[in-house]
């Protein structure tokens, strides 16, 4: 309980007059403390906590030893993205053991960079598959993502976001090869 002390004069200089004794006023803060705890409890219980945002990532099962070699994707349906330093990447179509069909070309991230590239390549592959009469679900574009040691985690998350935005169904994150590192070094982003 809080008390407010007021002085009563203390001396006897009043000429002998007898004064009545004043009681010290006090303020009871118990109700105020109860109200404060009720308000704190109310705001804690009604506050919505932010939920972590995550993206579903489907990972394939480990191959069994007795499984046959999986069929290879044709070179014209593949797009390889090699993540370099400085928020840049190198892309090419085809394989690294032979001359690439397109590229290697340096690109950036975002709507005007890799997203336009993926959408254009996807449209080209879908048009060719449609002309050939192939099933678009099974024979769409395949994107191979190869992060380098100089790339950062944000770049990998950006590429995975682009896969979700462009609705690419088949993509894989694989280890970088020496030929890919040479592409990065030639373009000065490694």
What are the pLDDT digits (tens) for 47-85? Answer: 877 777 776 766 666 666 665 666 667 778 888 899 988
Residues 6+ apart with CB under 8 A from 47: none
Taking domain 75-186, whether its CATH number is 3.30.450 is answered by no
The 3-state DSSP class for residue 160 equals helix
Domain boundaries, the chain: 75-186
CA–CA dist 125, 78 (Å, integer): 9
CA–CA dist 175, 157 (Å, integer): 16
> What's the Cα-to-Cα distance from 168 to each of 101, 138, 139, rounded to whole Å?
20, 12, 12
Structure tokens at 171: 């993509």
What are the pLDDT digits (tens) for 121-179? Answer: 888 888 888 887 776 666 788 889 999 998 998 989 999 999 989 988 888 888 998 88
């Amino acid at each position: 309980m809080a008390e407010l002390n007021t002085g009563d004069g203390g001396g006897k200089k009043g000429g002998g007059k007898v004064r009545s004794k004043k009681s010290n006023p006090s303020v009871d803060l118990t109700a105020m403390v109860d109200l404060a705890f009720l308000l704190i409890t109310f705001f804690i219980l009604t506050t919505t906590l932010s939920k972590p945002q995550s993206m579903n990532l489907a990972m394939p099962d480990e191959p069994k030893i007795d499984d046959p070699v999986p069929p290879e994707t044709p070179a014209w349906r593949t797009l390889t993205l090699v993540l370099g330093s400085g928020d840049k990447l190198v892309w090419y179509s085809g394989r690294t053991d032979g001359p690439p069909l397109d590229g290697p070309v340096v690109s950036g991230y975002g709507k005007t960079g890799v997203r336009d590239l993926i959408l254009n390549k996807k449209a080209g592959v879908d048009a060719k598959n449609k002309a050939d009469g192939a099933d678009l679900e099974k024979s769409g574009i395949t994107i191979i993502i190869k992060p380098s040691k100089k790339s950062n985690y944000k770049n990998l998350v950006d590429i995975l976001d682009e896969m979700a935005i462009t609705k690419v169904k088949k993509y894989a994150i694989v280890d970088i090869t020496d030929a890919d590192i040479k592409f990065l070094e030639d373009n000065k982003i490694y």
